[in-house]
A = this chain, B = another copy of it.
Amino acid sequence: MASAQLDQLKLAMAATNALFTNEVVLNRNFGALDDVYTADARILPPGAPMISGREAIKKFWTDLVQAANAKSAVLSSVEVIPAGDGVVEIGRATLAFVDSPDEMQAKYVVYWRQEAGRWKWDVDIWNPNS
């Protein structure tokens, strides 16, 4: 992939990640998850079996963000690996909470696909660093 094309891809991915951090976590606008996950996305959260489909994923994040009283999330790409029609991303996440000064450090792998012209998370797995 040409360098300019990769830059373009990274910008598109950053826009989707910003939807998650700003709309979903910060503003608790869970409808924004329609533009974050593909319709048949799968998430693999620690402590639970795999969850399939955007509607079930929306319920998962709605419950978790509220239960944890999340304050903010910061996502940063560590590697962006173009893979056919998709992209494999390795990243770091930092989560902060309203009720605690402790931040949580996590890492993730997301397999991205395009849906209706937008880059979205198709497979999303993460775990905590400690």
CA distance A88 to B89 in the complex (A): 12
Asked if A111 and B127 sit within 8 Å, CB to CB, the answer is: no
Asked if B84 and A82 sit within 8 Å, CB to CB, the answer is: yes
Cβ contact of A125, chosen from B42, B45, B47, B109, cutoff 8 A? B109
Inter-chain contacts of A46 with B (CB < 8 A): 46, 127-128
Asked if B47 and A107 sit within 8 Å, CB to CB, the answer is: no
> How many copies of the polypeptide does the oligomer hold?
2
**Chain A window 113-130, contacts with chain B (Cβ cutoff 8 Å), 1 for yes, 0 for no:** 000000000010111111
**Is the CB of A81 closer than 8 A to any CB of chain B?**
yes
Query: Which chain A residues numbered 61 to 89 have a C-beta less than 8 Å away from chain B?
Result: 78-79, 81-86, 88
Asked if A44 and B83 sit within 8 Å, CB to CB, the answer is: no
Inter-chain contacts of A47 with B (CB < 8 A): 127-130
**Is the CB of A90 closer than 8 A to any CB of chain B?**
yes
**Is the CB of A49 closer than 8 A to any CB of chain B?**
yes
Inter-chain contacts of A86 with B (CB < 8 A): 81, 83-84, 88
